[in-house]
Structure 1
Amino acid sequence: MTEANSFTVETDKCLQALNSLALPAKASHFCTLSQFHHVKQALDFATDNDLTVIPLGAGSNIVLASNLTGLVLSLNLLGITKQKGSTSNNDTVDVTFGAGENWHNAVIYTLKQGWYGLENLSLIPGNSGAAAIQNIGAYGVELADVLVSLKAVDIESGALLNLTNQECKFGYRDSIFKQSLKDKCIITEITLRLTKTPMVNLDYPALRAYFPESTTLPSPLLVSDAVCQIRRSKLPDPKELPNVGSFFKNPIVSAETLGRIQKEHSALDIELPFYPQDDGSIKIPAAWLVEYCHFKGFRRGSVGVHKDQALVLVNYNDVEGSDSASEILQLAREIQRSVKTEFGIDLEVEPRIYGSL
């Protein structure tokens, strides 16, 4: 353990308790950043010791398939601040989250303040900084819908970066931080524009079904409660059954591809669910594809596919001597091959994998 100018660098750190799949990978060097000036100190330490910088976040959207050689950073930059005079519209408010703020806790805080717009994103695991990397989305809302800007630190130069929503290049579960800025910066805070007037979004079928037909729309807090109940009914708690939530992205295909699949499977009398997108493309539920290929509830060794949600790969972690990391990647590959063979669709893994798939 090394004291590095008021923050501690640990060596050979076990990360099992710091990733939601509970994989027992280790970090050669590890530190927690609880203050902004720690970021520069960590970068200087990494440079002086020729270490790669690896931001960990809350560990809820990663698969640690191997040990990490480098300086692993656990960001604990906290704080929720209402920006004064940030908008000319009295109906909106700009709110800044520290990158280490627990996302769900931050959502609930804003709702209690009467700042709305995040209720559909309730109970998504992880921290606020990672929310921007992933462009988290659920029940008809994405982070890109509300993010104004964010601040980050360039890992190589230490320069402070200010990026607008447009500069983040958000896409479906995607951003510039998964593309050209991947591994090149550390997000320190995000600023969101929320509304003071409740304007709930019930476009998603599961939410519409949750609320009976009435002339009165539910409040944002009630929508948040509904989202939490729906998510809990569909997704296992990682604290009880280790997982990273959805393991595969919903594939986006062309209308021609959809037509081909429907034609090839017309004799089987199946109804392939699909959702037309604004740009003419088609979104197909990955969970349906995985379930059709008979993987829902499947188990091998210490890992498997959850019995109620085909998108969730779980680590039962109850087989002595098993290699859960290898087993979960092997299962993911098998699912991808089966879906490719059956439908000609390439399933893309949603969490980041450290190691080889």
Structure 2
Amino acid sequence: MDRRSLIKSAGIAGVLAAGVAPAVHAQAALRWRIASSFPKSLDTIYGAAEVFAQQVKAMSGGKFEITVHAAGELMPAFGVVDGVQQGTVEVAHTAPYYFFGKNECFALGCAIPFGLNSRQMTAWMYEGNGLKLMREFYAKYNMISFPGGNTGAQMGGWYRKEIKTLADIKGLKMRIGGFAGKVLERMGGVPQNIPAGEIYQALEKGTIDAAEWVGPYDDQKLGFNKVAPFYYYPGWWEGGPQLDFFINQKAYDALSAENKAIVENAAAHAHTTMQARYDARNPTALRQLVGAGTKLRPFSDAILGAAFKESMALYADIGAKNPDWAKIYADYSKFRTEQNLWFQFTEARFDRFMQAQKFA
């Protein structure tokens, strides 16, 4: 009797009794943890990790579950890369530029002053060499990366006093994320790297003179308008900062092909959702902030010009010392040139015209 006839005649109980196991394998349930660098109160940026986890669970039919843990629950906000590298957690959701102290190249995976905007960053990652180059670099830290959100261009931060000239930056103690602090320092400022949950207190007490986070929606939640009246724009250091899901390489390699596809697609969904939330929620928040007395101010051309000059000089200095940076930045900067050439004829011109129109 062949196997098919045996199963048909005897039924599953008879097959098992006969010692012939059917080719059915239940996939073992998976339980992972994400360590976030952000507090739960920020439903946009912290929320991207929740979106990712929800999608993984839904696409796996509940067989692959990931719990999300806010900064400080499992490890400090700036300890999440070490956690993934060492295998303490399987996933981190963070802004890569927080870790430029390990190697400046972490900033290239997130945002550098006068870098790519959010659409350009996504294009470099998915259709340029960005994902390939950054993954080669992150492999040195025993992890693989997946784009995990973007805020879009950010605001330039909150200041206790007006910033009219370059002289006003001298000695300015400012909480500024990641790599931008190096440029601020070259301009005479004093950068401070402080997690989101600690910024308000530092600004209120006068420990710092200024602080930037993301934009109106998050900044309103964090209450910065209550302790600093001047709100500057644009955030020249963050034209399109990308967050990442860093996954422990060993944990990722152990996944089935199906679960690897689930992770990739869940991350892409979270990536899109995060920026959509910011773009949808920032306008209302900005109106409310201005209505409550916030004083909007643009950075002067002189300040922007000085910051650009110092940024380009910094990148040249780093490239002379860091071969990883030299390799990745060469590709990044070439892509940026091509993108800006294209955007000046399309998005930039269209946006300028539309913003000049008055709508009822």
- Give the TM bin, normalised by the shorter chain: under 0.3
**Using CA pairs below 8 Å that are at least 6 residues apart, which structure has the higher relative contact order?**
2
Q: TM-score if structure 2 supplies the norm length?
A: 0.24
Q: When the two structures are superposed, what TM-score results if normalisation uses the length of structure 1?
A: 0.24
Structure 1 or 2: larger helix share? 2
Greater Rg over alpha carbons, structure: 2
Give the structure with the higher percent strand: 1
